């Protein structure tokens, strides 16, 4: 009897091991504070192993275009939509996950600049000794939008000599060291760094909510379509929504 039970247990374990998948996920690095814990919960619940590959949206877009093997992609619409048009994703798997506003971050404990209106933001930028945002040339969605905002405010020439562009989350170190006074960020990015706090969101007319909708899909070249779909379903679940909202962004999965 014991032998039979042992054999049944071994068979169950072998079956679980055989069904466990290894997923590779391309993820816009701005979302790491929210996606890391959600992914750990998914791994514990399913037995699947997920490798998260974080980079700027532009870098990941080009890696998908180059045909790199990947199972799931989660990017802002500005990078996602061109890939969708190029049929880089499995049909019927497009899933909006979250929406982010663009905000201004400062070092915790320091005076917060007034960014409550277009004129106030303009004055705060001009008054800053130096500012930071991700490098638009490196594919950073925040950097692209920040440069556009500064241009819209008509202060591009004045801001150029005191603007520091960084790869990814490099703004954090600049703020902590006092090398810049403020940075353009997404709240979920700033949530990774307890030394920082949000001064406030950009005024509504300077936001770009459509392009900062983060969308997931199963890659067309996945070898694990079922597990990849399950992962996206988890990203859009009520449990994941609570984590996403706690990091300062709006969950979209249940809409």
Mean pLDDT of the chain: 89
Q: What is the CATH number of domain 2-100+210-251?
A: 3.40.190.10
Identical fold between 2-100+210-251 and 103-206:
yes
Say if domain 103-206 classifies as CATH 3.40.190.10: yes
Q: What is the mean pLDDT of residues 114-139?
A: 93
User: What residue ranges do the domains of the chain occupy?
Assistant: 2-100+210-251, 103-206
pLDDT at residue 2 in the model: 45
> Can you give the three-state secondary structure of the chain, one letter per residue?
CHHHHHHHHHHHHHHHHHHCCEEEEEEEHHHHHHHHHHHHHHHHHHCCEEEEEEECHHHHHHHHHCCCCCCEEEEEHHHHHHHHHCCCECCCCCEEEEECCCEEEEECCCCCCCCCCHHHHHHHHHHCCCEEEECHHHCCHHHHHHHHHHHHCCCHHHHHHHEEEECHHHHHHHHHCCCCCEEEECHHHHCCCCCEEEEEECCHHHCCCCCCEEEEEEECCCCCHHHHHHHHHHHCCHHHHHHHHHCCCEECCCC
pLDDT at residue 15 in the model: 43
What's the pTM? 0.77
Better-predicted residue by pLDDT, 91 or 211: 91
């Amino acid at each position: 009897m014991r032998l039979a039970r042992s054999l049944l247990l071994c068979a169950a374990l072998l079956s679980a091991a055989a069904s466990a998948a290894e997923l590779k996920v391309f993820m816009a690095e701005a979302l790491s504070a929210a996606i890391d814990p959600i992914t750990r919960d998914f791994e514990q619940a399913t037995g699947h192993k997920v490798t998260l590959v974080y980079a700027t949206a532009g870098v990941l877009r080009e890696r998908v275009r180059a045909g790199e093997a990947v199972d799931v992609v989660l990017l802002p619409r500005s990078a996602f939509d061109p890939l969708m048009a190029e049929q880089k994703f499995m049909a019927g798997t497009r899933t909006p996950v979250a929406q982010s506003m663009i905000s201004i971050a400062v070092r915790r404990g320091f005076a917060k600049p007034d960014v409550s209106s277009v004129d106030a933001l303009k004055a705060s930028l001009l008054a800053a000794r130096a500012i930071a945002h991700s490098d638009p040339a490196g594919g950073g969605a925040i950097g692209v939008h920040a440069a556009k905002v500064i241009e819209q405010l008509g202060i591009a020439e004045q801001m150029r000599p005191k603007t520091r562009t960084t790869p990814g989350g490099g703004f954090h170190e600049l703020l902590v060291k006092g090398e810049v006074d403020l940075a353009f960020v997404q709240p979920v990015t700033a949530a990774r760094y307890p030394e920082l706090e949000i001064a406030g969101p950009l005024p509504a007319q300077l936001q770009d909510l459509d392009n900062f909708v983060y969308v997931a899909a199963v890659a067309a070249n996945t070898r694990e379509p079922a597990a990849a779909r399950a992962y996206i379903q988890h990203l859009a679940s009520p449990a994941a929504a609570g984590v996403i909202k706690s990091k300062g962004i709006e969950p979209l999965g249940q809409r």
